């Protein structure tokens, strides 16, 4: 087994192949990734900002036990729900996994819909090492609640217009993080986020479906989550001591079921809200993974066969041959 020399980022000095599978939630990334991993001798590195949490399986649509048995998965169940995994930590762990997987002469596959994770790895972001500031974040969240998300985004624009131009005002978490870094360091996050692309041969595959079909899949997924025990999962988390205001507990599904358990919504209204806000999340994901991005090769799994997708993946034959 080869042990490649290492270069920048602690990665193999020679360009390593990396298959990246992106796309909106519920499009079918996991199922396709498992099939491709089996066909290409690959291992999957999850790029999902919710599946990193232990005890949170149903609401995060974590790969099933069968899917995890069918192909090796990494970056699942990394931290407890009251812990934080920063983008910088994720990036370092992903780089290490790429090197380990290549060391086993297998194909690393970065799979998920978290645009920040994907871009941090593929583009080699230099991520500011600023620890979360709970009090500052709480103050910014309160300001957004009082004045509106657009007002907080306008505040960011006065401090870091470049970052404001890149971040949708509706993505409150990213707006607050950009403000947090700027206020703590005194420097715009856009200046600190330099890029140094790692030595990868990247092929990006986008999984997409027409919006009506995608929305129907979202609705069906939410209904399946309920049937699988989503309410009980959220109840167990609260009984274990995890508070409602944790970032993990404010994600899609958990926030709305929390409102139901507290008597603020009916179950039917909570489910309808999950579906509605998941559709809104799809629009946010499109700002990270644009349909017109020439670097992403988009496929509809209902229209293109697995064989055709495999034929499209442009990993050089010389590289694929030693996997």
* pLDDT digits 0-9 by tens, 65-99: 999 999 999 999 999 999 989 888 999 999 999 99
Query: Do 65 and 175 reside in the same domain of the chain?
Result: no
In a structure prediction context, what are the per-residue pLDDT tens digits for the chain, which is 323 residues long?
A: 344 444 444 444 457 899 999 999 999 999 999 999 999 999 999 999 999 999 999 999 999 999 999 999 999 999 999 998 988 899 999 999 999 999 999 999 999 999 999 999 999 988 877 878 889 999 999 999 999 999 999 999 999 999 999 898 988 988 999 999 999 989 888 887 778 889 999 999 999 999 999 999 999 999 999 999 999 999 999 999 999 999 999 999 999 999 999 999 999 999 999 999 999 999 989 989 999 999 999 999 999 999 999 998 876 554 444 44
Are 108 and 53 in a shared domain? Answer: yes
Residue 308 and residue 167 share a domain: no
Which CATH number covers residue 170?
Answer: 1.10.20.140
Structural domain harbouring 171: 134-192
Final residue before a domain boundary, out of 142, 165, 192: 192
Radius of gyration of the chain (CA): 20
Residue 257 lies in a domain: yes
The contacts found for 220-225 with CB under 8 angstroms, 24 or more apart, are 221/26, 221/61, 222/253, 222/271, 222/274, 222/275, 222/278, 223/271, 225/58, 225/59, 225/61, 225/253
Residue 217 lies in a domain: no
The domain boundary, picked from 192, 220, 237, lies at 192
Residue 31 within a domain: yes
Region label for 24, one of left (φ > 0), alpha (ψ between -120 and 50) or beta (otherwise): beta
Residues 6+ apart with CB under 8 A from 31: 67, 301
**Do 82 and 207 reside in the same domain of the chain?**
yes
CA dihedral defined by 180, 23, 34, 67, rounded to 10 degrees? 60
What is the per-residue pLDDT across 113-169, written as a single tens digit (0 to 9) for each?
Answer: 999 999 999 999 888 778 788 899 999 999 999 999 999 999 999 999 999 998 989
Task: Give the residue from 16, 11, 63, 19 showing the smallest Cα distance to 43.
Answer: 19
Tell me the C-alpha distance between 206 and 130, whole Å: 32
Does one domain contain both 83 and 202? yes
Question: What pLDDT score was predicted for residue 10?
Answer: 44
CB 181 within 8 A of CB 203: no
Cβ-in-10-Å burial (0-12, 13-18, 19+) of 239 comes to: exposed
Residue 140 lies in a domain: yes
Phi, psi of 186 (to 5 degrees): 80, 10
- Total structural domains within the chain: 3
CATH code at position 244: 1.10.287.890
Residue 1 lies in a domain: no
Element spanning 16, H or E: strand 16-22
Q: Does residue 114 sit in the same domain as residue 14?
A: yes
User: Is residue 93 located within the same domain as residue 166?
Assistant: no
The predicted structure's pLDDT at residue 196: 87
Does residue 75 sit in the same domain as residue 207? yes
CATH number of the domain residue 102 falls in: 3.40.50.300
Query: To the nearest 5 percent, what fractions of the chain are helix, strand and coil?
Result: 50, 10, 35
44 part of a folded domain: yes
Q: Does the reported pTM lie above 0.75?
A: yes
Contacts with 310 (C-beta within 8 Å, 6 or more apart), sequence order = 36, 39, 40
Same domain? 90 vs 119: yes
Residue 219, domain member (yes or no): no
Task: Give the per-residue pLDDT at 314.
Answer: 73
Please tell me whether residues 30 and 107 are part of one structural domain.
yes
C-alpha dist (Å) from residue 207 to 23, 159, 214, 301: 5, 36, 11, 7
Residues 185 and 292 in one domain: no
Same-domain status, 207 and 290: yes
Domain assignment of residue 221, yes or no:
no
């Amino acid at each position: 087994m080869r042990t490649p020399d290492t270069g920048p980022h602690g990665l193999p000095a020679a360009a390593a192949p990396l298959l990246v599978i992106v796309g909106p939630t519920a499009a079918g990334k996991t199922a396709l990734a498992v099939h491709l991993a089996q066909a290409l001798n690959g291992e999957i590195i999850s790029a999902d900002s919710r599946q990193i949490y232990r005890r949170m399986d149903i609401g995060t649509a974590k790969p099933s036990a069968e899917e995890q048995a069918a192909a090796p998965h990494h970056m699942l169940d990394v931290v407890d729900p009251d812990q934080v995994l920063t983008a910088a930590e994720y990036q370092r762990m992903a780089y290490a996994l790429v090197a380990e997987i290549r060391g086993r002469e297998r194909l690393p596959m970065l799979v998920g819909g978290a645009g920040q994770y994907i871009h941090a790895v593929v583009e080699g972001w230099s991520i500011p090492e600023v620890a979360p500031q709970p009090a500052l974040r709480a103050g910014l969240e309160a300001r957004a609640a009082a004045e509106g998300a657009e007002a907080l985004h306008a505040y960011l624009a006065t401090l870091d217009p470049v970052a404001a131009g890149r971040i949708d005002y509706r993505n409150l978490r990213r707006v607050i993080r950009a403000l947090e870094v700027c206020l703590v360091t005194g420097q715009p996050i856009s200046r600190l986020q330099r890029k140094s692309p790692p030595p990868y041969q990247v092929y990006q595959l986008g999984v997409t479906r027409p919006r009506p079909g995608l929305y129907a899949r979202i609705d069906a997924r939410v209904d399946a989550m309920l049937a699988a025990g989503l309410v009980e999962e959220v109840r167990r988390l609260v009984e274990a001591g995890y508070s409602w205001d944790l970032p993990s507990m404010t994600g899609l599904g958990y926030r709305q079921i929390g409102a139901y358990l507290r008597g603020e919504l009916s179950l039917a209204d909570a489910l309808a809200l999950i579906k509605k806000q998941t559709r809104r999340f799809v629009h946010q994901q499109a700002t990270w993974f644009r349909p017109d991005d020439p670097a992403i090769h988009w496929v509809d799994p209902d229209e293109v066969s697995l064989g055709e997708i495999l034929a499209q993946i442009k990993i050089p034959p010389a590289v694929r041959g030693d996997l």
